[in-house]
């Protein structure tokens, strides 16, 4: 079964540093998303991306965050200057274009630890 692939699985970074989280969505999916889950809390939506632009973003997705689809396969989340409170599991997801066969698949996540 097709998968959403995320790299790295774990990342430790110093406060103030930039990080880039990478995702390879399922190849025929058209909608791409980033979510985060702070330890012990619910999964929260960050941003959705369609047709090479952001279609929706949450309050969490402020100016320090950005997303990009640099080529036909990768989808990245950049955090420009990390803060301690950015420590979380970050999930990439993609969804199928067919409304009648709608699949919404998550990657296995990147655990980001800011120290």
Partner 1 sequence: AQSVTQPDIHITVSEGASLELRCNYSYGATPYLFWYVQSPGQGLQLLLKYFSGDTLVQGIKGFEAEFKRSQSSFNLRKPSVHWSDAAEYFCAVGEYGNKLVFGAGTILRVKS
Q: Which residues bind partner 1 (CB under 8 A)?
A: 30-31, 33, 35, 41-45, 48, 50, 55-56, 58, 91, 93, 95, 99-100, 102-109, 111
Which DSSP string corresponds to 55-99? EEE-TT--TTEEEE--SSS-EEEEESS--GGG-EEEEEEEE-S-S
CB of 108 to partner 1, least distance (A): 4
Closest distance of CB 43 from partner 1, Å: 4
Q: Are the beta carbons of 104 and 93 closer than 8 angstroms?
A: yes
Comparing CB distances to partner 1, the nearer of 74 and 105 is 105
State phi, psi for 86 to the nearest 5 degrees: -80, -10
Nearer to partner 1, 33 or 75 (CB): 33
Q: What share of the chain is helix, strand, coil (3-state, %, to 5)?
A: 5, 50, 50
Q: SS3 of 37, please? A: strand
CB 16, min distance to partner 1, A? 26
Nearer to partner 1, 5 or 66 (CB): 5
CB of 104: closest distance to partner 1 in angstroms?
6
Q: Which is nearer to partner 1, 55 or 64 (CB)?
A: 55
């Amino acid at each position: 079964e097709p998968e959403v692939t995320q790299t790295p699985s774990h990342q430790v970074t110093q406060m103030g540093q930039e990080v880039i989280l990478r995702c390879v969505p399922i190849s025929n999916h058209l909608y791409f998303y980033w979510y985060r889950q702070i330890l012990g809390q619910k999964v929260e939506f960050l941003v959705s991306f369609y047709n090479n632009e952001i279609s929706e973003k949450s309050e969490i997705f402020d100016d320090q965050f950005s997303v990009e689809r640099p080529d036909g396969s990768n989808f990245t989340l950049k955090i420009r200057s990390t803060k301690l409170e950015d420590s979380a599991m970050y999930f990439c997801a993609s969804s199928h274009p067919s409304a009648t066969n709608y699949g919404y698949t998550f990657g296995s996540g990147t655990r980001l630890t800011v120290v």
